[in-house]
A and B are shown apart, each in its own frame.
Chain A
Amino acid sequence: MSDVGIKREIFIEAKPSTIFSYFTDAAKLCLWLGQQAKLEPAESGRIEIDMNGHDIVLGTFKTIDPYERIVFTWGWKGSDVHPPGSSIVDIALKPDAGGTWLHLQHSSVPESERECHEDGWNRNLPQLRDVLTNDGTIGQGA
């Protein structure tokens, strides 16, 4: 494994358009993800989610394809190991009988492709990914 990343699939008995609004409407997003949110639901629009009055997620929308796909960057304000711009969340909505399959992939962004975020993080940091991949001894079975 060369990256930190997870995949999830969940079946939701609702239309893609209903589910989609929970990612683009700040008031609805706060019902399931965080306490307060500012969203600019357009390509290159900003995302700011205050999770608990202390931990803040910053990101940017990369793709907004109504009712089918949403891609945005994700990172924790002030975090070295998971800074803003260091990971990407890819949501795909696929209608199926009686509802929608939501596919979520959250993976780290290669360092070379990372955007320099206003939160200001040090590009020279040895990122977690580097530790995981070094000589193959870490992140694999002992």
Chain B
Amino acid sequence: MLMNNHIFTAFSDPNRRRMLDILKHGKRTAGDLSSSFDISGSAVSQHLKVLLQARLVGVEKRKNSRIYYLRKEGFEDLQQYLGQFWDDHLTVLKQLAEAEEREKEQ
């Protein structure tokens, strides 16, 4: 039902929310990000993996480094999900209400 559960998972951790805040200000390498956190480099990598899965963050692979950036499309997913959710359900409501109305008229 929740179209992109990864988005909800991604937002559930304070470190990941802070990473998104930092990436709002521009691209960063994993090393840049690590220096802002008191957690291990591998923990930072794990968090970045979750953000990548949620498609909130993208990565550019360079020769010696990976550069992370915020994907605005990821945030639009929620909006899209909401629209799709109501389109699907209102279509069913329409069918039900119209069927009930026809029965009443008979």
Contact A15:B101 (CB < 8 A) given known A6-B79, A128-B78 = yes
Interface of B is mostly: helix
Q: State whether B72 touches A139 (Cβ < 8 A).
A: yes
Contact with A along B4-40 (1 / 0, CB 8 A): 0001100110000100110010000000000000000
Q: Which residues of A contact B89 (CB under 8 A)?
A: 32-33
Pair A80/B90 contact, Cβ less than 8 Å: no
Contact A125 B17 (CB under 8 A): yes
Tell whether B76 is near chain A: CB-to-CB under 8 Å: yes
A76: B residues at CB distance < 8 A = 2, 8
Chain A contact patch, size range: 35 or more
B100 within 8 A of A: yes
The complex places the Cα of A88 from the Cα of B95 at a distance, in Å, of 24
Check if A132 sits within 8 Å of B83, measured CB to CB.
Answer: no
| Set of chain B residues within 8 Å of A81, measured between Cβ atoms | 7-8, 11, 78
Count chain B residues whose beta carbon lies closer than 8 angstroms to a beta carbon of A.
32
Q: Assess whether A40 is interfacial by the CB under 8 Å rule.
A: no
> Does B43 lie at the interface of the complex (its beta carbon under 8 Å from any beta carbon of A)?
no
Judging by beta carbons under 8 Å apart, are B24 and A135 in contact? yes
- For window 88-142 of A, CB contacts with B under 8 Å fall at 102, 104, 106, 125-126, 128, 131-132, 134-135, 137-140, 142
Our pick among B21, B86, B92, B97 for the contact of A18 (Cβ within 8 Å) is: B97
Q: Mark A61-84, 1 if CB is under 8 A from B, else 0.
A: 000000000000000100111100
Instruction: Find chain A residues with CB under 8 A from B86 CB.
Output: 6, 8, 104, 106
Complex interface bits, B60-90 against A, C-beta within 8 A gives 1, otherwise 0: 0000000000101001101100110011011
Interface string of A3-22 (1 = CB under 8 A from B): 01110101011110011001
* A18 close to B1 (CB less than 8 A): no
CB–CB B100/A52 < 8 A: no
Bound-complex Cα distance A139 to B80 (A): 12
- Give Cα A131 to B98, complex, Å: 41
Contacts of A125 in B (CB 8 A): 11, 17
Which residues in B have some Cβ–Cβ distance to A below 8 Å?
1-2, 7-8, 11-12, 17, 20-21, 24, 70, 72, 75-76, 78-79, 82-83, 86-87, 89-94, 96-98, 100-101, 104
